[in-house]
């Protein structure tokens, strides 16, 4: 079985700006599409996913696994050619503990200051940049190595948001 296709809704999504009559018509059409098309497609996707899970389980039970030495914190997955399993990196679970993979915390550059990630590891960050009036003017989000500068300095501006050590 090949990976099922999930169809995008071809109609008009119901919206508050529509007349009541148009809204009702669009809701009916959307619900009919969900029932006739979308739900069956997601059911096929669930069946496909279950088959992949069973393949991984069968491989695991057959003992035909790669060595687990040095694979701590990784997950077992079917490879891209779907003919074997391999270990893959898994992002760390968020924790309030600092200095470890998974560390999740808020951050703020302060007005006019440069903002650096803590040293070590790989970090995911999202910052909102504010001007001197407190208005949000930009959103920054990316992945960077520990110790990297992720904002500023810019006179009168500050960046605030969150950082997560993913590895």
Q: What angle do CA 103, 104, 109 make, to 5 degrees?
A: 115
Cα-Cα-Cα-Cα dihedral sign, residues 70, 74, 76, 80? negative
| Domains: count for the chain | 2
Q: Tell whether 159 is covered by a domain.
A: yes
pTM, whole model, 2 decimals?
0.51
64 plus 109 within the same structural domain = no
**Tokens coding 83:** 């003919």
Tokens describing residue 99:
């200095």
Position 84 in a domain: yes
Q: pLDDT tens track of the chain, all 167 residues?
A: 788 888 888 888 888 889 999 999 999 999 989 889 989 998 899 998 988 888 888 877 777 677 888 888 788 888 888 888 888 887 778 888 888 888 999 999 989 999 999 999 999 999 999 988 888 899 999 999 999 999 988 888 999 999 999 88
Q: Is residue 73 one of the residues assigned to a domain?
A: yes
Distance between CA atoms of residues 162 and 102, nearest Å:
12
What is the extent of the structural domain holding 117?
Answer: 104-165
**5 found inside a domain:** no
Q: Are 151 and 115 in contact (CB under 8 A)?
A: yes
| Residue keyed to tokens 């009168």 | 156
Please indicate, yes or no, whether residues 81 and 140 belong to a single structural domain of this protein: no
């Amino acid at each position: 079985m090949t990976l099922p296709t999930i169809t995008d809704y071809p109609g008009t999504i119901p919206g508050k700006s529509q007349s009541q009559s148009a809204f009702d018509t669009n809701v009916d059409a959307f619900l009919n599409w969900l029932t006739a098309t979308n739900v069956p497609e997601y059911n096929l996707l669930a069946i496909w996913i279950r088959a992949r899970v069973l393949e991984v389980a069968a491989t695991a039970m057959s003992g035909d696994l790669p060595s687990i030495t040095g694979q701590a914190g990784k997950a077992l997955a079917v490879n891209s050619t779907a003919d074997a399993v391999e270990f893959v990196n898994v992002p760390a679970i968020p924790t309030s503990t600092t200095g470890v993979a998974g560390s999740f915390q808020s951050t703020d550059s302060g007005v006019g200051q440069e903002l650096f990630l803590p040293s070590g590891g790989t970090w995911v960050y999202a910052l909102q940049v504010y001007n001197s009036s407190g208005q949000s003017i930009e959103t920054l989000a990316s992945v960077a190595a520990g110790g990297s500068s992720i904002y500023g300095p810019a006179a009168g501006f500050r960046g605030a948001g969150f950082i997560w050590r993913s590895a």
